[in-house]
Amino acid sequence: MAAGSLSMTSRLLLVAVGLVVVGVGCSSDEDVTASGPAGDGDLPTVPVPQVEEPPREDVPSALDSMDAPELPDPLVETSEIRSGGPPPDGIPPIDDPVFHEAGDVDFLADDEPVLAVEVDGDARAYPVQILMWHEIVNDTFGDRPVTITYCPLCNTAVAFDRRLDDGRVLSFGTSGRLFNSSLVMYDRQTESLWAHFNGEALAGVFAGDRLDRLPVQTISWQSWFADHPEGLVLSRDTGEDRDYGRNPYQGYDDPDSFPFLFDGEVDDRLAAKERLVGFGLDIDPTAVLLEPLLDAGVLHTELDGQPVVVWAERGTSSALETSRVDGGRDVGATGVFAATVDGEVLEFERTDDGFVDDRTGSTWNVVGSAISGPLEGTQLDALEHVDTFWFAWAAFSPDTRVLPES
């Protein structure tokens, strides 16, 4: 079977250690279950205290029935929330994450993608080679409970604050269901169903509520380590037996293939799996095409009347193309930032050394840090954005603008 030619009417389900492992777009019929150890051998770990998980509340479960009369009306037709194959937590989330200091890590290639999250100066990297097998990490930064999510089917990483406005703390699992071919999470406290893409509860007790999203970047391990040599990196010591480093979704990002279990109409402005940078989801949805951005390096625009810079640099591999996470084509890394420092609007250009601003000549790296020049040590304000496929962005934001304009 050629890469990208797998019929989207089926999802390969293989049972490993009593859990369901998902494979999409495999180039052969070989078993994709793990054969090696799950952990990281003798690498030293760093303890990270986690908030205590609140108990299950005595309320009706949307996992059992999204239309239960005791529940609010679902936000979408329940038929649009489809089974993707696995049962709840068949793709096991990580609830007790273990970390390594960055300098101890020896299992990542330079161009391999990691999810970069920083909260109050605490920088952590979540390797995509791990997240594609688990999709959710329930973590804690200091006293702030956070969930890191990654959906291979829509190629999207999103981070959330797990606290609601009333102070309640949630923890999340994988529901085994999809909405717009995107991960649907469930919270363990009420078993409401949540769209990972925008953090909105689709059904259950919390239907209509939204989680606060946090900035997350998908960048190369080399770039992240250069900026955060003392940061923390999620360990492969997950308690599960998975072939970390292998891509069970081989060929899935073929631009000519169709998304799995996607029932909607694909906006015909672009191909379904055109890669883009999406931001301003709740304000002024904006999609920036990846290939033109990689060529230009920088795009200046506005969001809600404020100057914004979007930039990209090459050097990060696609996790979804070949049989190995670190073997895909170069799809680069992107960032979206407020373009104002101390009340002054800056414009940038990409150079061989990084991104250089026009006012001071300072050089900035892909995570928005000034690494040399008069502004060295300054950090641009990161804006929440996603690197994703067109079909998913357009489904959640049909009125999006597309840049650059043709």
Q: Give pLDDT tens digits for 142-182.
A: 999 999 999 999 999 999 999 999 999 999 999 999 999 99
DSSP string, 316-378: -B-SSSSSBGGGS-B--EEEEEE-EETTEE--EEEETTEEEETTT--EE-TTSBEEESTTTT-
Q: What percent of the chain has pLDDT over 70?
A: 90
Residue 26 scores a pLDDT above 90? no
pLDDT band at 212 (very low <50, low <70, confident <90, very high): very high
Task: Quote the pTM value.
Answer: 0.91
Lowest mean pLDDT of 13-27, 239-253, 345-359, name the range.
13-27
The Cα 320–Cα 327 span in angstroms is 9
Lowest mean pLDDT of 4-8, 65-69, 268-272, 348-352, name the range.
4-8
Q: What is the mean pLDDT of residues 189-202?
A: 98
Which is nearest to 367 in space by CA: 385, 353, 359, 379?
379
Q: Provide the CATH number for the domain formed by 275-403 in this structure.
A: 2.102.10
pLDDT given for residue 54 in this prediction: 94
* Contact yes or no for 126/137 (Cβ under 8 A): yes
Q: What percent of the chain has pLDDT over 90?
A: 88
Q: What is the mean pLDDT of residues 216-230?
A: 97
Q: How much is the mean pLDDT over the chain?
A: 90
* Contact yes or no for 328/251 (Cβ under 8 A): no
* Contact yes or no for 130/113 (Cβ under 8 A): no
The torsion defined by the Cα of 223, 227, 228 and 234, in degrees rounded to 10, comes to: -20
Q: Where are the domains of the chain?
A: 43-51+70-234, 275-403
Question: Which helix or strand (DSSP H or E) is residue 393 part of?
Answer: helix 390-396
pLDDT band at 263 (very low <50, low <70, confident <90, very high): confident
Q: What is the mean pLDDT of residues 65-85?
A: 95
Q: What is the mean pLDDT of residues 343-354?
A: 97
Q: What is the mean pLDDT of residues 248-256?
A: 92
The Cα 309–Cα 380 span in angstroms is 10
pLDDT band at 86 (very low <50, low <70, confident <90, very high): very high
Whether the bond into 404 is cis, omega within 30 of 0: yes
pLDDT band at 39 (very low <50, low <70, confident <90, very high): low
